[in-house]
Amino acid sequence: MSLIPSIFGNRIIFDPFSSDIWAPLNSNDEISTFANAQIDWKETPEAHVIRADLPGLKKEEVKVEIEEGRVLQLSGERSVEKEDKNEKWHRIERGRGKFLRRFRLPENAKVDEVKATMENGVLTMTMPKVEEKKTKLKSIDISN
């Protein structure tokens, strides 16, 4: 579970539904800066919608799985470019390496109906919500 704050407008939100795991980039145990994939999660009347910014990744390089019944797991890897002997790097700022994000889904999410799409480096996962049962009210006459 992550207690890392997220900034939303002028509010700071602690996300009890999220956990982040970063994998080593290489044998030097460097941490992948790409692991901090930016996530937006909104709830509409019909569904939960999670969007992840994954620039430069193809859908084949990303996995979306449901684990332990109610945990949505997002993972992937951006490979390190192969270095040619005739090339010299001057700056490396784009994150590389593996990432793994987990989100505990609320009880009203239909985990068997999760759909995922990826377009222009944005992964969108949509989970329909269970319809709320409306309680019926029956009027009772009050006798004398």
C-beta atoms surrounding 136 within 10 Å: 5
- Measure Cα distances from 100 to 5, 41, 64, 65, 119 in Å: 18, 16, 10, 11, 20
Residue 14 phi/psi, 5-degree rounding, is -95, 130
Residue 113 is part of which domain span? 17-82+92-128
Q: Is residue 11 part of a domain?
A: no
Q: Is residue 4 part of a domain?
A: no
Q: What total number of domains does the chain contain?
A: 1
Q: Is residue 2 part of a domain?
A: no
CATH number at residue 77: 2.60.40.790
User: So what's the pLDDT on residue 136?
Assistant: 80
Amino acid at 3: L
Q: Using CA atoms in the order 10, 11, 15, 16, what is the torsion angle rounded to 10 degrees? A: 180
Q: Is residue 60 part of a domain?
A: yes
Amino acid at 16: P
Q: Is residue 30 part of a domain?
A: yes
User: So what's the pLDDT on residue 117?
Assistant: 96
Distance of alpha carbon 129 from alpha carbon 127, whole angstroms: 6
Q: Is residue 111 part of a domain?
A: yes
Q: Is residue 23 part of a domain?
A: yes
- Measure Cα distances from 118 to 50, 55, 81, 108, 141 in Å: 12, 11, 23, 24, 57
Local confidence pLDDT in tens for the 144 residues of the chain: 343 444 444 444 445 455 444 333 343 434 444 556 789 999 999 999 999 999 888 899 999 999 887 899 999 888 777 777 888 878 877 777 888 888 899 999 999 999 999 999 999 999 999 987 777 888 888 887
Distance of alpha carbon 65 from alpha carbon 33, whole angstroms: 22
Q: Is residue 68 part of a domain?
A: yes
